[in-house]
A and B are shown apart, each in its own frame.
Chain A
């Protein structure tokens, strides 16, 4: 076992980074889950994170909106900046950070409230709508952009949990974009969905890329290849290789990456 952090192969920097992560380490108690990761995340593009199960993709993703703060015993070290500002800074309010960095989880987790309330919740707590009319407009638009409007426009008052899995996931996406974040983090958003629902979400990601930076964790090589512009390959807490998705999938530099994407691993 080689526990020393490896140096990342590929280009970790981008021209116009939203996020810039330097020397990031994450520990769960004694367990070193993320080892000295350096990576930039670019505006208006999709970064796919791939790697075998347990390699730390979710852990790294949760660093970006400080969801690891909520885990007892988790410790994040290193420097992560959002638009040049340290997100661990005393000045940085975690509530505000999460309003700027939205998150979609692996399992759809709508609130046990109505569809309308699910989407309206974020704008409401952040005070984004001056009146009911504006709120209605935000809900309407978010649902449209998430491609869910046609399916739910007649049942906005029904519980969000009454939707199908794929609809629920799109509801969660609508909920996230309702607060107009700068970055959207997605942790295996399609793992519980059938191919049709998956395709819809992939289309959606493609559209959302026009306005947001997106980080997506996925176990599907095809999905990574389809939706992302850059890909990062993690292995046992190391960021092994990062680069243009085309390059990674056609000409991986690291042996580990090659093994993984050709299916010889995991």
Chain B
């Protein structure tokens, strides 16, 4: 070989030549990496940009200030204060009366209907709740901010141009003028959108809120976490630390890995057949949703937990066994504490995936139109991603905004959940 009788200088020259090549390759590689990261960033910024541009406005909503007179003649003509009568009274008439009082010049049924259309039908429901909870208010006057109709809201938010031709918007020219008049008085303004956070779904955009879906998601994820984390960790510990290595455990291992790749809708069908069809659990219930999402997250948690267990240095196991610890003691005292951070990472990934899933929930009926906010895991509910899906399908402009708003809430939920898990993980990691 000639390389054996090269002089030192010759070798040096060769190394220098190859160095240049190596640095070039490195620079090229860095450039590729940077491009990839930048491309990713651009997409993320674009995604968040559009979502926030569309959705941030949902946190404010147009409210109309009205002077209501809780007219005893309308609410309770008999004067009995009978609760049943109070519920069924014509509160719409109170709202109308106060609007009429604000615009006394408006006459004629058509014009009046247009005037009344400026305020959401939620206003009368609000007055009803006000009176039924406190009948002593009957006969008094009060200033209240009530929800404006979604068409008004869209105009105020500038989603519909005021100077657009009349037939291209859902408000007439005179309605736009009244709106302007109200604004001049300070009687029509954007305020914090309570309804979005306190209401369930609704057919009226201005009344539709995410609370139902949010609680539904919370309940569903709670069930999922409570089931999938202990079961997943238990299965991982058993498979990794106790199970004999044989054909059966090999088959189980392969199957768990395959399960992680099964499309989520299949789990939904399984849940439909098993939990609802066979066990007769209620449709649309967060309990069943939680069961289905548990099936979905289990493989992820098991795989991550096993990896975390495998990563615990064998010297620690030897030390524990050498001290005369039983297998269980070795696992419980030494291996698990070291593996918990990794397991939590698995749980984060699994739960994040579960939070974003909609397909399996569609299968078990968590896609119904549900106005009531669920009170427990057996009540019918939807979940945030399903709510996004439902709203994205509706034609009203107000729902476009709400779709993005729900996505923002979903992202915030995800952020809070992950932050909690990361904090937890750091706490465990910090032990040594």
Q: Which residues from chain A sit less than 8 Å from chain B, CB to CB?
A: 65, 67, 70, 72, 95-99, 102-103, 105, 107, 109-113, 121-122, 125-126, 159, 161, 172, 175-176, 179
- How far does the Cβ of A114 sit from chain B's closest Cβ, in whole Å? 9
User: Given A72-B245, A105-B315, A107-B315, does the pair A113, B432 have CB atoms closer than 8 Å?
Assistant: yes
B contact residues around A112 at 8 Å (CB): 316, 334, 337-338, 431-432
Q: Mark B335-378, 1 if CB is under 8 A from A, else 0.
A: 00110000000000000000000000000000000000000000
B321 touches A109 (CB 8 A): no
B319 touches A110 (CB 8 A): yes
B319 touches A125 (CB 8 A): no
B contact residues around A105 at 8 Å (CB): 315, 318-319, 322
A contact residues around B334 at 8 Å (CB): 111-112
Does B74 have its Cβ within 8 Å of any Cβ on chain A? Answer: no
- How far does the Cβ of A167 sit from chain B's closest Cβ, in whole Å? 16
Q: Within the complex, which residue of B313, B322, B338 is in contact with A98, where a contact is CB–CB below 8 Å? A: B322
B432 touches A122 (CB 8 A): no
B325 touches A125 (CB 8 A): yes
B contact residues around A67 at 8 Å (CB): 318, 321-322
A113 to B319 alpha-carbon distance, docked (Å): 13
A contact residues around B323 at 8 Å (CB): 98-99, 102, 121-122, 125, 175-176, 179
A98 touches B316 (CB 8 A): no
Does B329 have its Cβ within 8 Å of any Cβ on chain A? Answer: yes
A103 touches B322 (CB 8 A): yes
B contact residues around A107 at 8 Å (CB): 315
Identify which of A70, A99, A102 gathers the most chain B CB atoms within 10 Å of its CB.
Answer: A70
16 chain-A/chain-B pairs, Cβ below 8 angstroms? A67-B318, A95-B324, A95-B325, A96-B324, A99-B324, A105-B315, A105-B318, A107-B315, A111-B316, A111-B334, A112-B337, A113-B432, A121-B323, A122-B323, A161-B432, A176-B323
User: Given A109-B318, A112-B431, A121-B333, does the pair A98, B324 have CB atoms closer than 8 Å?
Assistant: yes
Does B320 have its Cβ within 8 Å of any Cβ on chain A? Answer: yes
B329 touches A125 (CB 8 A): yes
- Chain B: residues with Cβ within 8 Å of the partner, total of 21
B324 touches A122 (CB 8 A): yes
A contact residues around B326 at 8 Å (CB): 95
A contact residues around B313 at 8 Å (CB): 109
CB closest chain-A residue, reference B338: A112
A49 to B225 alpha-carbon distance, docked (Å): 53
A111 touches B320 (CB 8 A): yes
A99 to B245 alpha-carbon distance, docked (Å): 27
B contact residues around A179 at 8 Å (CB): 323-324
A159 touches B432 (CB 8 A): yes
- How far does the Cβ of A134 sit from chain B's closest Cβ, in whole Å? 18
- How far does the Cβ of B36 sit from chain A's closest Cβ, in whole Å? 37
A contact residues around B321 at 8 Å (CB): 67, 70, 98
CB closest chain-A residue, reference B244: A72
A8 to B329 alpha-carbon distance, docked (Å): 40
A47 to B185 alpha-carbon distance, docked (Å): 101
B contact residues around A159 at 8 Å (CB): 432
A33 to B156 alpha-carbon distance, docked (Å): 85
CB closest chain-B residue, reference A118: B319
- How far does the Cβ of B111 sit from chain A's closest Cβ, in whole Å? 79
List the 8 closest pairs (A to B, CB-CB), nearest first: A98-B324, A99-B324, A109-B315, A103-B322, A112-B432, A109-B319, A159-B432, A122-B323
A65 touches B432 (CB 8 A): no
A contact residues around B432 at 8 Å (CB): 112-113, 159, 161
- How far does the Cβ of A63 sit from chain B's closest Cβ, in whole Å? 14
A109 touches B316 (CB 8 A): yes
A121 to B325 alpha-carbon distance, docked (Å): 9
A98 to B334 alpha-carbon distance, docked (Å): 17
B322 touches A102 (CB 8 A): yes
CB closest chain-B residue, reference A126: B324
Q: Mark B102-144, 1 if CB is under 8 A from A, else 0.
A: 0000000000000000000000000000000000000000000
B contact residues around A95 at 8 Å (CB): 324-326
A67 to B322 alpha-carbon distance, docked (Å): 7
A243 to B432 alpha-carbon distance, docked (Å): 46
- How far does the Cβ of A95 sit from chain B's closest Cβ, in whole Å? 5
A103 to B320 alpha-carbon distance, docked (Å): 10
B contact residues around A172 at 8 Å (CB): 319
A contact residues around B337 at 8 Å (CB): 112
18 new A-B contacts, CB < 8 A, other than A67-B318, A97-B324, are A67-B321, A70-B318, A72-B245, A98-B321, A98-B322, A98-B323, A99-B323, A102-B322, A109-B313, A109-B319, A112-B334, A122-B323, A122-B324, A126-B324, A159-B432, A172-B319, A175-B323, A176-B322
A95 to B313 alpha-carbon distance, docked (Å): 21
A159 to B320 alpha-carbon distance, docked (Å): 16
B contact residues around A72 at 8 Å (CB): 245
| Chain B residues numbered 406-432 whose CB sits less than 8 Å from any CB in chain A | 431-432
A179 to B323 alpha-carbon distance, docked (Å): 8
Q: Mark B37-55, 1 if CB is under 8 A from A, else 0.
A: 0000000000000000000
- How far does the Cβ of A32 sit from chain B's closest Cβ, in whole Å? 22
- How far does the Cβ of B312 sit from chain A's closest Cβ, in whole Å? 10
CB closest chain-B residue, reference A70: B321
A176 to B319 alpha-carbon distance, docked (Å): 10
B322 touches A65 (CB 8 A): yes
A109 to B315 alpha-carbon distance, docked (Å): 6
| Chain B residues numbered 289-330 whose CB sits less than 8 Å from any CB in chain A | 313, 315-326, 329
A67 to B319 alpha-carbon distance, docked (Å): 10
B contact residues around A175 at 8 Å (CB): 323
CB closest chain-A residue, reference B245: A72
A contact residues around B316 at 8 Å (CB): 109, 111-112
CB closest chain-A residue, reference B325: A125
User: Given A72-B245, A125-B329, does the pair A111, B324 have CB atoms closer than 8 Å?
Assistant: no
- How far does the Cβ of A110 sit from chain B's closest Cβ, in whole Å? 7
- How far does the Cβ of B87 sit from chain A's closest Cβ, in whole Å? 65
B contact residues around A176 at 8 Å (CB): 322-323
- How far does the Cβ of A82 sit from chain B's closest Cβ, in whole Å? 14
CB closest chain-B residue, reference A104: B322
- How far does the Cβ of A70 sit from chain B's closest Cβ, in whole Å? 6
CB closest chain-B residue, reference A172: B319
